[in-house]
Amino acid sequence: RYINMTQDKCLVDIHTHVYLPEYLELLRKREQVPRVLPPLEEGQDERLIILPDEDKGESTKNGRPVGPAYYDVREKLAFMDKHNIDISVISLANPWIDFLPPTEETFDLARRLNVSMENMCQDPITHGRLYGLGTLPLSSVEGSVAEVERIAALPRMKGVIMGTWGCGKGLDDPALEPLYEAIAKHNLVIFLHPHYGVNLPTSGNMDAGHSLALALGFPFETTYAIARLILSGIFDRVPDLKMLLAHSGGTLPFLAGRIDSCVAHDPAVASKLNHPPSYYLKKLYFDAVIYHATGVKATADFVDPSQMMFGTDHPFFPPLESKDARWMSVDSNLTAIAGAGLDEEIVKGILGRNALKIFNLEMPSK
């Protein structure tokens, strides 16, 4: 097995998902989206239908195949070996448990998911190559704060993954403040990941399948939710809150100037903040899951590149042909990082060293 094994030259994947067995079990029982359907034909994989209205689109209604790469830790390790990834910081995939009501049963599931994630990261076959991000029962702030306390006590958990839903009213909901405070207090990182899109009609005159929802709906959702969060002034009140934005922050590095300008010209909004919006944006962390050098360059130009980290989005976007091939989705991100014209030391940071520091990770034992 090849891994890089040195802090100086390591590859760390901070955007990589699992559907834990407890979660798949829940999705299999459901009759509404999000849900898992049985295989179309015997011997094929089960199918995942999770995105809003995915069951209504002609080409999306049969979902996406969900095989062992989605839940088997051995597949995660094999994928890491294939691409020389030393460490992965794994997170449950969307839509987490946002859709469950604030009941004891939901709190119990969150607890079980986080213990299951911790156990996966502690499995001896992983040789210390996995860390985890926890899942919160977000329909209850109290329940989520209690779960943050438990997550903070699990040694391999380094943060939580969250969507933009908050507890139903977005990330800028003042009710979430005790949760942000608890997360900051424990020095955990919020990995902010989209799921809901931006409520545009899902179908136009053509069937775009999943492509535009994932390519554009996801980053537009992140862009809007984080802009709202910043305008709420949360980062003046909880300045230590660490937040990592999926997909290089959606379009935020590109649109930050426009957000600054529009806020500056609206004194009622600007007066609620101590600084222009981009001041807060520049304190956030950004993954490098943007696939083109232009996107990497824009992000590295906007934030200090020591705040950027490599990711793969495994097990999504698998190769369509040979199962043995390296994944195009991984290689396009590696090529984009290598081709962005950044100094060698900066590149090494994005590939691994930044993640070791930001998430406080240790190199795996030899």
Look at residue 214 and give the partner it binds from ligand URA, Zn ion, none, a contact being a CB closer than 5 to 8 Å depending on partner kind.
ligand URA
**Closest CB to Zn ion among 132 and 277?**
132
Q: Is residue 33 within the footprint of ligand URA (CB under 6 A)?
A: no
Look at residue 148 and give the partner it binds from ligand URA, Zn ion, none, a contact being a CB closer than 5 to 8 Å depending on partner kind.
none
Taking only Cα atoms into account, the Rg of the chain, rounded to an integer number of angstroms, comes to 20
Measured over the CA atoms of residue 240, residue 91, residue 215 and residue 55, the dihedral's sign is negative
**Closest CB to Zn ion among 194 and 276?**
194
**Closest CB to ligand URA among 16 and 140?**
16
Q: Is residue 135 within the footprint of ligand URA (CB under 6 A)?
A: no
| Cβ proximity of 49 and 213 under 8 Å | no
**Closest CB to Zn ion among 13 and 313?**
313
Q: How far is the CB of 319 from ligand URA (least distance, A)?
A: 15
**Ordered alpha helix ranges (H), the chain:** 21-29, 73-82, 104-122, 141-152, 177-185, 211-212, 218-231, 234-237, 252-264, 267-270, 277-281, 293-302, 328-338, 344-348, 354-358
**Closest CB to Zn ion among 18 and 231?**
18
- Residue 6's CB is within 10 A of a number of other CB atoms, namely 10
What's the CA gap between 125 and 123, in Å, rounded? 5
Tell me if residue 76 falls in helix, strand or coil: helix
**Closest CB to Zn ion among 90 and 298?**
90
Q: Which of 2, 14, 10, 90 is nearest to 352 (CA)?
A: 10
Q: How far is the CB of 217 from ligand URA (least distance, A)?
A: 10
Look at residue 94 and give the partner it binds from Zn ion, ligand URA, none, a contact being a CB closer than 5 to 8 Å depending on partner kind.
ligand URA
Pairing of strands 46-49, 35-37: antiparallel
**Residues from 190 through 249 that contact ligand URA (CB under 6 A):** 214
Q: How far is the CB of 53 from ligand URA (least distance, A)?
A: 13
**Residues from 298 through 357 that contact ligand URA (CB under 6 A):** 313, 316
Q: How far is the CB of 287 from ligand URA (least distance, A)?
A: 11
Pairing of strands 46-49, 64-66: antiparallel
Q: Is residue 138 within the footprint of ligand URA (CB under 6 A)?
A: no
Residue choice 93, 161, 179, 230 for contact with ligand URA (CB under 6 A): 93
Q: In terms of C-beta distances under 8 Å and separation of at least 24 residues, what long-range contacts does 323-330 make, across chains too?
A: 326/82, 326/83, 327/79, 327/82, 327/83, 329/291, 330/83
Q: How far is the CB of 222 from ligand URA (least distance, A)?
A: 11
Chain residues binding ligand URA by CB under 6 A are 17, 50, 93-94, 214, 313, 316
